[in-house]
Amino acid sequence: MVNIVDSEYKLNRIQTHLVADYWDLVNPYIKDALEYEDVAITPWDVFLDVKEGRKQLWIITKGQEIYSVIVTHIEEIYKKKKLIFRYCAGHDIKEWFYMITKFFDYAKKNECVGILVYGRRGWQKLLATSGFQEKATIFSLEF
């Protein structure tokens, strides 16, 4: 596990070989995040993606309590790498949201030119406080 600590909250990246050890703790958060997903992805799919190194699993904690679970991946888009926030669930986001800047260093270290966040429209106002801009809206029709 890789820890990034500030005075209260801790951002923990769970290494691939430790994912199974943490899965029972993070699985409910993953399920919550997937409720808004438009494809038939399951928590097991996310587990395999993280376990096999295609995605990264992050946990924000304060003491022993989990405040958020975040799943990211790095994707090359038109020859430019971006860190993608794909799934995020938790509570009390306004308390720990400043920790998002810790991801900036991770993205730069991995030669990313930016960060993309997939999320509901409710994230817009909070993300804007860290410089994010809305670039697109996705529409869906299910049969």
CA distance 55 to 105: 17
Q: Give pLDDT, residue 136.
A: 78
Q: Give pLDDT, residue 107.
A: 95
Please report, rounded to a whole number, the percentage of residues in the chain having pLDDT higher than 70: 92
* Mean pLDDT within 64-75: 95
Q: Give pLDDT, residue 142.
A: 66
Q: Does residue 1 or residue 115 have the better pLDDT? A: 115
pLDDT tens-digit map of 83-136 = 999 899 999 988 998 888 899 999 999 999 999 888 777 778 888 888 888 887
Q: Give pLDDT, residue 2.
A: 57
- Closest to 69 measured CA to CA, from 25, 132, 5: 25
Q: Give pLDDT, residue 5.
A: 55
pTM equals 0.86
What is the side-by-side strand order in the sheet with 56-62? 2-5, 10-14, 56-62, 65-77, 80-90, 112-117
Which tokens in the block code for residue 111?
């030669």
Q: Give pLDDT, residue 126.
A: 82
* Mean pLDDT within 67-90: 93
